[in-house]
Structure 1
Amino acid sequence: MPSDVEYSPVGEGLGMRDFWLYVWLRRAALIAAHVSGLALTLIISVPSRPGTSLFSWHPLCMSVAYCLCMTEGILLFSAEGTIFCLKSRKNKIRFHWLCQALALIAAAVGLSFILASKNVSELPHLVSWHSLLGSCTLAASLLQAACGICVIFHNQLHLSPSPARLRLYHATCGLVVYLLSTATVMLAMFSDWFQATVKGVAWWVFAVVPLFPALVAMNQITNAYLPRKKMSS
């Protein structure tokens, strides 16, 4: 029977009715991950009032980098489809590269603004868990980008690891980066700036929002790259 849903080995062993329920639940989770990624970007960037200070650009740039661009760059490879209606894998890879490049650019700009803000205010650097974990996230982002470059230019660089192994390294680095960025975003919500802006029940709601796209992305990457044994019906 023809279907617009790509086959996923995760659904093996399920009855047809249960399988379609499973597929639509995964689609709903994917849509919710897109929405929560965009919502998280707005939640962090709007209260910062970009342009009011050097620091105000830091939350905006970092949320655009990791909550929006990196999230979309990962989710577009989902088997349930993507909001960008990209069918060709080649087009998905190109859009993935675009998202990741924008994420790195936005992260670099955000880093420059926080460094400039602390220098102007004569405040010390790397004194909070948020800043320390953020530094690890940026370092892991560069490693992930390097793995991606090795995948694309495998033949030109004459690398010994196979393209499949390099793709596994790249996906693993991407998963680590996304989990680190999620933890960094959650730590930012414990900062004096965010707690002074968002209070009460709203703060608790916003604090758990980063977990949802992270779970969806983690599930997508592990399902795509972890080895599976064929399930018997």
Structure 2
Amino acid sequence: MNQAGAGKGAARRRCGGLYLYLRKAAGATAHLSALAISVYVGVLSRLGTSRFSWHPACMSVAVCFCMTEAILTFSKDSSPFFCCTVQAKVRLHWVMQVLATIFGSIGLVFIVSSKNISESPHLTSWHSILGIGTAIAVGGQLLCGLCLLFPQLINTYSVARLRLYHATCGLLAYLMAMATVMLGLCSDWFTSQVNTVVWYLCIITLLIPALVIMNQVNSGYLSKKKIEV
């Protein structure tokens, strides 16, 4: 019985070690995917050739890189800032989200300007409609994050619940942003420049960080807090 118990314990440790390794590998892949898709879309945009060229480049940096890295800052498995304090991670999260807002705003200004010059109608695709909804959601998240960064703005009793809502709605806003980018990959501009294989690779590259972040937020925060609501 002792040998059997020891064998089961060793098996559990091996499974636990393998699971931890897979989580770390998935996190590292999420970082690489976020960087790769941002660089690829930026190169494909041929910056400076037109006003429109700034839109996909800025949006990919804002969503795929800045927003992804902002959330992965809190990852226990793959954060490059694992040695930092929680307060430092919060500041880094805010910096990346502010950068995402700046790049996203620039991208929005250029697409509006491009359509005005070409006299093209606005909000005629699901990509643009979801994009506007995402911009509104991100704006709400920034206000929510501001209240958490300066809790004196709200009463102490509301902080814990607001943190839960911020994590939940933040995940939703991020998934909306990634869905907007995916719809952008379905546009004539993108599909005319890549073949089918590359298109599917880009979709997979977007799905990897989205799935990693979904697991991170759910297992690291929501599953522990939902009982308290």
Q: What's the TM-score once normalised by structure 1's chain length? A: 0.88
- Which residue matches 1:89? 86
Instruction: Name the amino acid aligned to 1:32.
Output: T
User: Does the residue aligned with 1:124 lie in a helix, a strand or coil?
Assistant: coil
Matches of 1:86 and 1:133, distance apart in 2: 37
2:175 counterpart of 1:179? yes
Q: Hey, what does 1:25 align to over in structure 2? A: 22
Structure 1 residues 46 and 145, CA, compared in 2 at 3 Å: closer, same or farther?
same
Question: What residue in structure 2 maps to residue 146 of structure 1?
Answer: 143
C-alpha distance in structure 2 between counterparts of 1:201 and 1:173, whole Å: 33
Please give the per-residue CA displacement for 1:109-141, whole angstroms capped at 9, x wherever unaligned.
110000000000000000001000111111110
User: Counterpart of 2:135 in 1: which secondary structure?
Assistant: helix
TM-score by length of structure 2 reads 0.89
**Paired residues for 1:66-215 under 5 Å:** 66-155=63-152, 157-159=153-155, 161-215=157-211
Distance 2:87 2:136 in 1: 27
Judged with a 3 Å threshold, the aligned counterparts in structure 2 of structure 1 residues 65 and 86 are, in CA distance, closer, same or farther, namely farther
Deviation at 1:228, TM superposition (A): 4.7
Letter in 1 for 2:169: C
> 1:61 and 1:86, CA in 2 relative to 1: closer, same or farther beyond 3 A?
farther
- Superposed displacement of residue 64, structure 1: 0.7
Once the two structures are overlaid, the 10-residue window that deviates more, 186-195 or 157-166, is: 157-166
Distance 1:203 1:187, change over 3 A: same
Relative distance call for 1:149 and 1:228 in structure 2 (3 A) is closer
Which stretches in structure 1 are left out of the alignment for 5+ residues?
Answer: 1-13
Amino acid in structure 2 at the alignment position of 1:222: N
Secondary structure of 2:192's aligned partner: helix
Post-superposition shift, 1:161?
4.8
Q: How far, CA to CA, are the matches of 1:101 and 1:84 in structure 2?
A: 18
The alpha-carbon distance between structure 1 residues 161 and 57, as it changes in their structure 2 partners (threshold 3 A), is: farther
Structure 2, unaligned stretches of length 5 or more? Answer: 1-10
Aligned residue in 1 for 2:33: 36
Q: Distance in 1 between matches of 2:83 and 2:38?
A: 23
CA distance in 1 between partners of 2:221 and 2:48 (Å): 42
Aligned-pair identity (%): 51
Asked whether the equivalents of residues 86 and 92 of structure 1 are also in contact (C-alpha less than 8 Å), the reply is no
User: Quick one: distance in 2 between partners of 1:97 and 1:171?
Assistant: 14
Name the one with the larger helix percent: 2
Aligned residues: 215
Q: Is the 8 A contact 1:74 1:96 kept in 2?
A: yes
Match of 1:221 in 2: 217
Counterpart residue type for residue 39 of structure 2: L
